Chains A and B, each alone.
Chain A
């Protein structure tokens, strides 16, 4: 029997239209807009000013504090302005706008395609290289990788888990990466293993990608300690805690990090970025983005420079279809709906999905019939119906007592609800309110 996590989960239609489309390189755009906050943690400090000439890979914003990440220029050209731009939520945040001229890279970056297997750097050097090159988790959460790789004192890590699950419907960028850059990715995994000081790595891939499983199995056979595991198709398997449960059968205690059970989880995209950073000295300036949708002409996967407008991506995939009603940045379950398509691609952009108007409105909300399907599908064992009704009535003390802080906002409850109730909307409200109440309480 295939491995999976035991509690909850849903299986939305996969709709992976772009899984057989090879990754294409998107031309360098005329202008890139690079926000200074593309990661979890403190926004970076710009180190260039208006009018500066920058090269591809040059540091343009320095990380501030430990939990933060460097940001590098993704094009060569002139800094046009450092000013507020609207980000994917419509709110303004500081970004560095660069007008592209040519494509001149920093000399230190090794741009050859040649595979470098030997890892020369020491453990500490790998960490500092990841920090220097601005590597963040590319699965979507954009947590700075060097933080994740630094095992806190007193904790033990014995297994590195590589997330190749891609449980979100529609998205295929990780799938394509595994097929096309498998060799590099596995070298990246061995680098990560060295950085963590572990001799065991497990790659979890869902069963709907048999070609990737075969391919990575073949490559990883040559490496010691790396094993590939095929998993049952079930959302949200890509969530850290669920993946650890599925692969290691260890349960991360409520409110704790995976390191508590001796595991560290990294995405396949991150493993590849780490390979590039460590072996090729290349900062994180581009990533693979899936552009897909039912009415899109050419759903595909594109390697794009960070800061490229989303609209350029959509144009490359055949332009915005007439019937588009919603554009989602990320997967359909956890992604963020955009209110306009001229926002930039950032480090955490894993996909752009265009929904036709007919699928872009929510279903009508009817009364809760207490069918308990939300409880059945909740992977964290929560009671979404209860959390929603409590949050609706501002009863946050009971919301907290019912473990709202464990919710990872996977959306399975809202997905399954036969009454179309906006469970996650209110749970998210309850969760953020409870977190601010906790912060306030702790500060006292």
Chain B
């Protein structure tokens, strides 16, 4: 046999063996034990890495689930109760039911209600505009309409409405991951309980100025008149800093506050049309 071939084969084989030995030693030395259930749980998570659970990604959440003694306070908003039950089955724990949530935009200041007082000519970025000034209207609390929230949404659940210059949230696509809540520099977006038939009832304003000032900037601003507090029979409405807030855990959707609100700051969405009652008709 040609000695060249012999040398080649021998030297390459020994090289290969040495490399294999090194690899084996290092693989053993740096072996990290990982609970195989972490992989199992991660497999059933939505893999969106949206951060809605409060962890950096699905892997971290899976680790947290495996480590946790109870599922209390742990929830995967995009996966919902279905995913949480599966995870509970894998880990042999009890799933804790969490209310499904949905994001709502608490500002009703469309251009017709909230007159423009200047023109913003900078980057289309809410954070930058917010640190610069009040925005194109005089309301220092309302939506800037530059779409940071839309950019943050990974689930195609938001878009900017060109006419109202406000973000619109899709009832079907929103998984309540909370990215938009964090993205909004003015904390306008809130996670509220998802009700049947996607009904929503909330104070569509976050203006904490005095009534007169708020009203001057925007005709549908909450002026903190407390009429809604008085009319509510369920103690669900509170006014603080000239701003009303409806507690969704107490609200029963009776809709009395909506009619009472003098500035139409409280909105109802996806409700059947009201029957015009005799009383109101008489008043009108």
A and B touch in the complex (CB under 8 A): yes
B118 & A362 in contact (Cβ 8 Å cutoff): no
Number of interface residues, chain B, beta carbon within 8 A: 18
Chain A contacts for B213, CB-based, 8 A? 84, 92
Contacts A91-B140, A432-B131 hold; do A339 and B125 have CB atoms under 8 A apart? Answer: no
If A90-B138, A429-B128, A429-B131 touch, whether A361 touches B118 (CB-CB below 8 Å) is no
Supposing A84-B213, A92-B140, A340-B118 touch, asked if A422 and B123 sit within 8 A by C-beta, the answer is: yes
B128/A89 in contact, CB under 8 A? no
Q: Bits for A420-439, please: 1 = Cβ < 8 Å to B, else 0.
A: 00100110110010000000
The residue on B at minimum CB distance from A365 is: B123
Cβ-defined contact, B134 with A89, below 8 A:
yes
Complex CA–CA separation, A90 to B209 (angstroms):
13
What is the CB-to-nearest-CB distance from A320 to chain B, in angstroms, rounded to a whole number?
A: 14
Within 8 A of B (CB), among A330-372: 336-337, 339-340, 360-362
- The binding surface of chain B is classed by DSSP as loop
Q: Closest residue to A388 on the B side, CB-wise?
A: B123
Q: How large is the interface on A (under 10, 10 to 19, 20 to 34, 35 or more residues)?
A: 10 to 19
Interface residues of B in 106-163 (CB under 8 A from A): 117-118, 121-123, 125, 127-128, 131-135, 138, 140
Contact A425 B133 (CB under 8 A): no
Q: Is the CB of B134 within 8 A of A91?
A: yes
Instruction: Report the minimum CB–CB distance from A97 to chain B (whole Å).
Output: 15
Query: Which A residues touch B210, using CB under 8 A?
Result: 84
Tell me the A119-174 residues at the B interface (CB within 8 Å).
none
The reply to whether the CB of A298 lies closer than 8 angstroms to some CB of chain B is no
How many A-B residue pairs lie within 8 Å, measured between CB atoms?
Answer: 48
CB distance A90 to B121 under 8 Å? no
Interface contact A92-B209, CB-CB below 8 Å:
yes
Q: Across the interface, name the chain B residue whose C-beta is closest to A326.
A: B121
- Check A425/B122 contact, CB under 8 A, given A90-B133, A91-B140: yes
A425 and B140 contact, CB distance less than 8 A: no
Report B-chain residues with C-beta under 8 Å of the C-beta of A336: 132
A360 surroundings in chain B (CB, below 8 A):
121
Q: Which of B184-224 contact A (CB under 8 A)?
A: 209-210, 213
Q: Considering the chains assembled together, what is the distance between the CA atoms of A432 and B132 in angstroms?
A: 12
Question: In the complex the two chains form, is B133's CB within 8 Å of A428's CB?
Answer: no
Cα(A81)–Cα(B134), bound, Å: 23
Nearest A-chain residue to B152, judged by Cβ: A394
Is there an interface contact between A89 and B122, defined as CB atoms closer than 8 Å? no
Identify which of B121, B122, B123, B134 gathers the most chain A CB atoms within 10 Å of its CB: B123
A339→B117 CA distance, assembly (Å):
7
Contact of B131 with A428 in the complex, beta carbons under 8 Å: yes
A295 interface hit (Cβ, 8 Å): no
| Contact in complex: A89, B132 (CB < 8 Å) | yes
Contact present for A339 and B131 (CB under 8 Å): no
CA A21 to CA B213, docked complex, whole Å: 40
Tell me whether A90 and B134 are in contact (CB under 8 A).
yes
Contact B123 A425 (CB under 8 A): yes
Q: Which residue on chain B has the smallest CB distance to residue A87?
A: B133
A86 at the interface (CB under 8 A from B): yes
Closest Cβ of chain A: how far from B211's Cβ, in Å? Answer: 13
Q: Closest approach, in angstroms, between the C-beta of A21 and any C-beta of chain B? A: 29
In the complex, which residues of chain A have a beta carbon less than 8 angstroms from the beta carbon of B125?
425-426, 429
Residues of the B chain whose Cβ atoms lie less than 8 Å from the Cβ of A340: 117-118
Contact with A along B234-245 (1 / 0, CB 8 A): 000000000000
Given the interface pairs A84-B213, A91-B133, A92-B140, the reply to whether A426 lies near B121 with Cβ below 8 Å is no
CB-contact partner of B133 in A89, A426, A429, under 8 A:
A89
Contact (Cβ within 8 A) A339 B209: no
Per the bound structure, the CA–CA distance linking A362 and B124 in Å amounts to 13
User: Cα distance A336–B132 when bound, in Å?
Assistant: 8
Q: Which residue of A lies closest to B118 (CB)?
A: A339
Give complex CA distance A84, B140 in Å: 13
Residues of A contacting B133 in the complex (Cβ-Cβ under 8 angstroms): 89-91, 337, 339
Closest to B141 in A: A91
CB distance from B111 to the nearest CB of A (A): 16
Output the residue of A90, A336, A425, A428 with the most chain B CB within 10 A: A90
Q: How far is B121's CA from A425's CA once the two chains are assembled, in angstroms?
A: 12
Q: How far is the CA of A425 from the CA of B134 in the complex (A)?
A: 16
Contacts from A to B (Cβ < 8 Å)? 84, 86, 89-92, 336-337, 339-340, 360-362, 422, 425-426, 428-429, 432
A422-B122, A426-B128, A428-B131 known, 8 other contacts, Cβ within 8 Å: A84-B210, A86-B134, A86-B138, A90-B138, A336-B132, A339-B117, A362-B121, A429-B127
User: Can you list 22 residue pairs at the A/B interface with Cβ under 8 Å?
Assistant: A84-B209, A84-B210, A86-B134, A86-B138, A89-B132, A89-B133, A90-B118, A90-B133, A90-B134, A336-B132, A337-B133, A339-B117, A339-B133, A339-B134, A340-B117, A361-B121, A362-B122, A422-B122, A425-B122, A425-B125, A426-B125, A429-B131
Closest 3 CB pairs of A and B: A90-B134, A339-B118, A89-B133
